[in-house]
Amino acid sequence: MTETIDTNLPPQETPILQLDVISDVVCPWCFIGKRNLDKALSQLTDIRINLMWRPYQLDPKTPPEGYDRATQMKRKFGPDGAKQIYQNILAASEGTGINFAFDKITRTPNTLNAHRLIRWAASTGQQHVIAEALFVAYFEQGLDVGDTAVLLEIAQAHDMDTKLLADLLASDADIETTRNDDAAARDLGIAGVPTFLAGGKFMLSGAQDPDYLLRFFSKAQSKLVSL
């Protein structure tokens, strides 16, 4: 159920670190964190990463059909608050290659089904690429990632079994498990995402820059070896 991220050393010579990424696909900081993680992983030379994406819904009470985003943002942050938030996000995303298109986003979706799709992508070793595709669909293309048709289109683009997935999405498959994983993250004290959990013991929160992530991986690996 994990994806092994290879580095530049032969597998037999490289220690393995379990890394759980707790995030939500409608969290812009999680998208930035994912791109920073990609840069960090590309620079690793002394650790292999077993990667697992874990669900966290920023607002689990979002109705199945989602919210009108403009109305929701105005209600939460006031008429001008959203503009400042977007400016902060754009500034933080410099160098990541993300083309945030907030003007294209019309709905804030319920992300339960998107998390189910990420969960099922583990069976084909594609959690990381599916997470990326969901971020791109929502933040760069303005697509509703709570819409089954959008989820199936993403799955098809990555050669997943869309007939099987359509049946699963129409059922209650893994709904309780996904919610339990979300609850488990909260039980660990996680109140914001992204959060990186290394070796099941060490946590780092926020869209940290690649160098900081590399230091975190190294320190976590060293502490785990010494236990």
pTM of the full predicted structure? 0.94
Closest CA to 21 of 44, 3, 7, 8: 3
- The predicted structure's pLDDT at residue 22: 98
- Look up tokens 């393995």; give the residue: 16
Domain count, the chain: 1
| 3-state secondary structure (DSSP) of residue 95 | coil
DSSP class of 45 = S
Q: What is the pLDDT along the chain (227 residues), one digit of tens a residue?
A: 567 665 554 555 678 999 999 999 999 999 999 999 999 999 998 899 999 999 999 999 999 999 999 998 888 888 788 889 999 999 999 999 999 999 999 999 999 999 999 999 999 999 999 999 999 999 999 999 999 999 999 999 999 999 999 999 999 999 999 999 999 999 999 999 999 999 999 999 999 999 999 999 999 999 999 88
Q: What's the Rg (C-alpha) of the chain? A: 18
Backbone phi and psi for residue 177, each to the nearest 5 degrees, phi listed first: -65, -40
CB-neighbour burial class of residue 23 (10 A; exposed 0-12, middle 13-18, buried 19+): buried
- Domain span holding position 147: 3-226
* CATH code of the domain covering residue 26: 3.40.30.10
- Look up tokens 């754009």; give the residue: 90
